[in-house]
Amino acid sequence: DAGVTQSPTHLIKTRGQQVTLRCSPKSGHDTVSWYQQALGQGPQFIFQYYEEEERQRGNFPDRFSGHQFPNYSSELNVNALLLGDSALYLCASSLTHTPRYFGPGTRLLVL
């Protein structure tokens, strides 16, 4: 079992660009949550997907959007990138509300 996988591992973008991050949940898991972890901080909840719908959202602007596919994999899209969007983006999967398994993250750098 590969666990939670994320791609790409690293990404460099410039301000104003758009980015798509991908997550495959652990086998058998149907719920995917996304978190943003700025340097030196704890992760902050972006949103959660279940049954292909956004179930809950944190305090993030509409520039952050997502999608969940029938195979439970998920994408996080960020439009009009700002320097402050530079962070580690973590995906977590679960069968319940509590994410037990996180992916290794995607490190996004916005220049």
Which residue in 40, 53, 70, 84 binds other proteins (CB under 8 A)? 40
Least distance (Å) between residue 16 CB and other proteins:
27
* Closer residue to other proteins in complex, CB, 15/100: 100
Do residues 86 and 106 make contact, with C-beta atoms less than 8 angstroms apart? no
| Residue 83 backbone phi and psi in degrees, to 5 | -55, -35
- Cis omega (within 30 of 0) on the bond before 8? yes
Instruction: Identify the helix (H) or strand (E) that includes residue 91.
Output: strand 87-94
Among the listed ranges 16-24, 63-71, 78-86, 101-109, the one in contact with other proteins (CB under 8 A) is: 101-109
Cα separation, 47 vs 14, in Å, equals 24
Do residues 89 and 34 make contact, with C-beta atoms less than 8 angstroms apart? yes
Least distance (Å) between residue 15 CB and other proteins:
25
Give residues 48-67 in contact with other proteins (rule: CB under 8 A). Answer: 48, 55-56, 58
Contact residues for other proteins, defined by CB under 8 A: 33, 40-45, 48, 55-56, 58, 88, 90, 92, 97-105
